[in-house]
Amino acid sequence: MSVERDILAKNDREANANRREFSRLGIFALNLVSSPGSGKTTLLVETIGRLGGELPITVIEGDQQTSNDAERIRATGAKAVQVNTGKGCHLDAHMVGHALERLAPAADSVVMIENVGNLVCPSAFDLGEAHKVVVLSVTEGEDKPLKYPDMFAAADLMILNKCDLLPHLAFDAALVEANARRVNPAIEILRLSATTGEGMDAWLAWIRGGAVEARRRRAAAAPRAQGCACAEAAAKA
Ligand SMILES: Nc1nc2c(ncn2[C@@H]2O[C@H](COP(=O)(O)OP(=O)(O)O)[C@@H](O)[C@H]2O)c(=O)[nH]1
Ligand SMILES: [Mg+2]
C-alpha cells in the first residue's frame, strides 16, 4: 500500500507541473478515458475535423502498442505524439510531461490526451488535465458506471457514444445515465454519435467554453506577471 501511495504522490507532483504548464499557456487539456473500442479516436478525428479550423488541437495518444491512433489523428493534419506504455495499463503524468515537450502545443490551444483503453487504472492517475472525459458506448451495457465507479466518479463529463445504434439494441440510455449519476451526481452527460455527427454540436460547444475559460485565466494572470516585473525593475532603479 505504501508503494502505491508513493507512486501516486510522485504522479500528483508531476501532474501539478503539467497543470502549471497548461495554465501558463492558456491550454484547455482533456483526458479521454474509456474501455477499448468505445470510439475515442473516432471522436477525436471528428472533433478535429469540425473544430480544428477555429481552435488549434493537438493530441497525445496512449496505447500499449502501435502508432495506429496517432496516424489516424495525423491524417487530419493535426499534430499527434504516440506514447506506448508496453505492459502499462494507463498513461502517467511523467509520460505526458515528456510527450508535451515533443508536442510543443501553442498557447491558447486545446490538448486532447487519449488514454489507454481501460476503465480501471486511468482513473487513479491525474495527468494535469482540466477534466477527465469518460466515453461509454451503447454496446457496453447500462451497468458499467456501477461496476467501474472510480472512473465515473473521477470524470466531469460522460459521453454516451454510438447513439446511432440505439434503435437496434435493447439498451436503456436513461438507466445508464441514472447509474452514472448515482456514482457521481455532478457528472455532465452528452449523448452523441461520432460517426453520424448527431449530438456533436453540444460537445463542440463544451470544448469551446473550456478553451475560452483557459484563455481568459491566462490573460487575467498576464498583467499581474507584468506588474511583478515592473515592480522588480523599479526596485532595482
Ligand atoms: N456505430 C458507431 N460506431 C462507432 C462510433 N464511434 C466509433 N465507432 C466505431 O467503433 C470502433 C472503435 O472505434 P475507435 O475510435 O477506434 O475506439 P477507441 O478504441 O475508443 O479509440 C470503430 O470501428 C469505429 O468506427 C459511433 O458513434 N457509432
Ligand atoms: Mg483509440
**20-31 tens-digit pLDDT:** 999 999 999 999
pLDDT of residue 225: 56
Q: Are 150 and 183 in contact (CB under 8 A)?
A: no
**pLDDT surpasses 60 at 81:** yes
Ligand with an atom nearest the CA of residue 133: 1
Q: How far is the CA of 37 from the centre of ligand 1 (A)?
A: 6
Residue 130 lies in domain: 2-236
Cβ(35) – ligand 1 distance below 6 Å: no
Cβ(161) – ligand 1 distance below 6 Å: yes
What is the biggest distance separating any 2 CA atoms in the chain, rounded to whole angstroms? Answer: 75
Distance, CA of 80 to CA of 1 (rounded, Å): 35
Q: Which residue has the cell 506588474?
A: 227
Q: How far is the CA of 142 from the centre of ligand 1 (A)?
A: 18
- For residue 96, the one-letter residue type is V
Ligand with an atom nearest the CA of residue 196: 1
**Count of other CB atoms within 10 angstroms of residue 47:** 23
Cβ(195) – ligand 1 distance below 6 Å: yes
The answer to pTM > 0.75 is: yes
**156-204 tens-digit pLDDT:** 999 999 999 999 999 999 999 999 999 999 999 999 999 999 999 999 9
In this structure, what CATH number is given to the domain that contains residue 121?
A: 3.40.50.300
Total domains in the chain come to 1
